[in-house]
Amino acid sequence: MDFFDKFKIWVLFICLISQLGYGFYLPGSYLHKYGIGDPLSVKVNSLTSIDTEMPFSYYSLPFCKPEEGVKDSAENLGELLMGDRIENSPYRFKMFKNETEIFLCKTKPLSGDEFNMLKKRIDEMYQVNLILDNLPAIRYTKKEGFFLRWTGYPVGFKFQDAYYVFNHLKFTVLIHKYEETNVASMMGTGDAGEVIPTGSEAPGYSVVGFEVVPCSFQHNAQSVKNLKLYDRYPSPIKCDPPAVAMAIKEGEPMAFTYEVSFVESDIKWPSRWDAYLKMEGAKVHWFSILNSLMVITFLAGIVLVIFLRTVRRDLTRYEELDKEAQAQMNEELSGWKLVVGDVFRAPTNPALLCIMVGDGVQILGMAVVTILFAALGFMSPASRGTLLTGMIFFYLILGIAAGYVAVRLWRTIGCGDCKGWVSVSWRVACFFPGIAFLILTTLNFLLWGSHSTGAIPFSLFVVLILLWFCISVPLTLIGGYFGAKAPHIEYPVRTNQIPREIPEQKYPSWLLVLGAGTLPFGTLFIELFFIMSSIWMGRVYYVFGFLFVVMILLVVVCAEVSLVLTYMHLCVEDWKWWWKSFFASGSVAIYIFLYSVNYLIFDLKSLSGPVSATLYLGYSLFIVLAIMLATGTVGFLSSFWFVHYLFSSVKLD
């Protein structure tokens, strides 16, 4: 009966995890109901390109501007850091009113700088990103019998040494009829019920899709001469995407027009993001992750079983001996029992170790909480920037945990001495943010020099520094204070005054430490491809449930790898395990960085220019540093617990 009860619990747990893997989401905005004829405003976001990874403002090119002038939309911290610049546009629709041949504007004759800038943006494959009711414009293209989805549309294209711009847009707005129910409630039991009617409102419509087809069309110069904004172009415009017509030339103006049609759809408002979340190769994605999870779980289980059996055998054999046999065995000790007087000897640079472990706890806690919230749907793709904003918020708050862990570890290494805890807390608050600030400032100068919207504005820099010193630093100091007041961890054995000489090893111990990162990397590399495609290829990442499971598995594997290596080092009488346990699991960062370089060479082949490559490598270095601190902390804390448990479980004189 017990077996079946356990079996039921495991089945329930697996079902729960599988459902969590879908990462359901809550929409990022409230439902907007529009009546027939209500105005709809299209907004524009930054121009983006996977060729350069540097966003630019929409109005950095000679496009039509709205009558009331260009106005920025309110943006959160995450949007600004991601380089989003959402502004108003001259595109205006009326709900359920189809319009064709709507004239926008005729630009001034293109200057030499404007002409060269347009050619450069077309060569660099820049995309125009439009937004309607918080939905990005989506474009469908057909290739070899398959339909491909793209967000946005190209600025233009090059054909036979001539440059053409997409100056006519054909919009399709998918709408769903929204009717409020005419019943307030139904009360009663069994088959009987009481219906209480209420007054109903006029039915409205919600926007559930926004599609665009870009075309290049040569307008008649005489026809557009006297036209004003939103006038009707006098002759029909045939939108044929493959056609080439509107070639840009220096000293000549450009004319822009659009058309819009509304189509009723069965798509309901909560499901309107499904079209954006359908990633190519979805089946490969799911089966690859599941396969990786199964293989790594099986491998980690074998490692754990072998490891526990080995340690338990040593302890059991020792405890079964009588006192005389134990005394004789103590004289003939070998392996990890020989380093009992040195195993808790303070490591080199103990303050730096405490600082890195404290920052690792802060980063790991931020990652766990953020991914958990995203998996539960509180940070959906519909809410632009909330993921990054949430990460910053949780990082700031968890400064208290970083200070507590670092100072308590500092006191433990110092055998209870509180001296220097303020210095340790201060350095914990400044170590990782300081390195991040240095990297981001350097990259920001490159973006400023390129006039990219990806550059962090000076005012935002000031805000980030204020958040750092007014929230993160005080909370870290508070955590350090609690860590100084908390009792330090007592060592189960005394440390000898004279350190024991470490026997010469057959192979360098650091070689084994560096190689240990391959196992944690095995849990990550498949998911890593999808994450990097989301960051650098503009794809939407949404399977946070699976990411949460992968991260838990990564933590378990990091702990196991570090435990095994620490035990192996102790068995060969190498008592300098502190830093090695940190880098045994932290070395996974090396392989992630090498994978990033591989991704740059083979997947981002079109990335052009030294500035773009420097930005990519700079951001990769920043992410890898954070991963090293988080995974290294997991390995060190698990090894510390194991060593403490191991030497407190057996009495040695």
How many domains is the chain built from?
3
Tell me the average pLDDT across 383-387: 83
Q: How far is CA 300 from the centre of its chain?
A: 26
What pLDDT, on the 0 to 100 scale, is given for residue 321? 57
Are residue 608 and residue 481 in the same domain, yes or no?
A: no
Tell me the average pLDDT across 469-474: 95
Tell me the average pLDDT across 321-349: 67
What pLDDT, on the 0 to 100 scale, is given for residue 57? 93
Q: Is 620 within 8 Å of 598 (Cβ atoms)?
A: no
Are residue 474 and residue 526 in the same domain, yes or no?
A: no
Tell me the average pLDDT across 137-155: 85
Are residue 433 and residue 564 in the same domain, yes or no?
A: no
At 295, list the tokens. Answer: 């293989």
- pLDDT tens profile 632-641: 999 999 999 9
At 101, list the tokens. Answer: 């041949």
Are residue 372 and residue 465 in the same domain, yes or no?
A: yes
Is there a domain that residue 303 lies in? Answer: no
Q: What is the pTM of this model?
A: 0.84
* Average pLDDT of the chain to the nearest whole number: 83
Are residue 539 and residue 600 in the same domain, yes or no?
A: yes
Q: Is the pLDDT of residue 577 over 70?
A: yes
Are residue 375 and residue 423 in the same domain, yes or no?
A: yes
Tell me the average pLDDT across 490-505: 81
In this prediction, residue 492 has a pLDDT band, given cuts at 50, 70 and 90, of confident
What pLDDT, on the 0 to 100 scale, is given for residue 28? 43
Are residue 484 and residue 527 in the same domain, yes or no?
A: no
Are residue 221 and residue 81 in the same domain, yes or no?
A: yes
Distance (Å, rounded) from C-alpha 136 to C-alpha 572?
Answer: 60
Q: Where does 61-202 show beta strands of DSSP type E?
A: 87-94, 99-106, 127-128, 130-132, 135-136, 138-143, 146-151, 153-154, 156-159, 162-165, 168-178, 183-187, 194-197
Tell me the average pLDDT across 269-279: 79
Domain containing residue 75: 38-179+202-272
Are residue 445 and residue 485 in the same domain, yes or no?
A: yes
Q: How large is the angle between the packed helices 610-648 and 588-602, nearest 10 degrees?
A: 160
Is there a domain that residue 646 lies in? Answer: no
Is there a domain that residue 511 lies in? Answer: no
What pLDDT, on the 0 to 100 scale, is given for residue 519? 85
Which of 250, 272, 294 is the last residue in one of the domains?
272
Q: How large is the angle between the packed helices 610-648 and 578-586, nearest 10 degrees?
A: 130
- pLDDT tens profile 184-240: 333 333 443 444 444 445 678 999 999 999 999 999 888 898 899 999 999 999 888
Is there a domain that residue 247 lies in? Answer: yes
In our burial notation (b when 16+ CB lie closer than 10 A, e otherwise), range 53-81 reads bbbbbbebbbbbbbeeeeeeeeeebbbbb
Is there a domain that residue 584 lies in? Answer: yes
Q: Is the pLDDT of residue 9 over 50?
A: no
Is there a domain that residue 31 lies in? Answer: no
At 32, list the tokens. Answer: 């907007």
Is there a domain that residue 550 lies in? Answer: no
- pLDDT tens profile 450-466: 889 888 888 998 999 99
Residue whose token pair is 């849990």? 523
Are residue 458 and residue 528 in the same domain, yes or no?
A: no
Q: What are the CA-CA distances from residue 5 to residues 10, 18, 254, 321 (Å)?
A: 9, 20, 73, 39
Single-letter amino acid code for the residue at 522: G
Q: Is the pLDDT of residue 287 over 80?
A: no
What pLDDT, on the 0 to 100 scale, is given for residue 136? 93
- Annotate 17-28 with DSSP letters as a single string: HHHHTT-----S
Q: Is the pLDDT of residue 415 over 80?
A: no
Distance (Å, rounded) from C-alpha 566 to C-alpha 640?
Answer: 9
In this prediction, residue 146 has a pLDDT band, given cuts at 50, 70 and 90, of confident
Among the listed ranges 264-278, 331-345, 470-484, 495-509, which one has the minimum average pLDDT value?
331-345
What pLDDT, on the 0 to 100 scale, is given for residue 533? 83
Is there a domain that residue 5 lies in? Answer: no
Are residue 379 and residue 243 in the same domain, yes or no?
A: no
Are residue 95 and residue 218 in the same domain, yes or no?
A: yes
At 559, list the tokens. Answer: 């702990």
- pLDDT tens profile 87-125: 999 999 999 999 999 999 999 999 999 999 999 999 999
- Residue 405: beta bridge partners? none
- Annotate 297-323 with DSSP letters as a single string: HHHHHHHHHHHHHHHHHHHHHHHTS-H
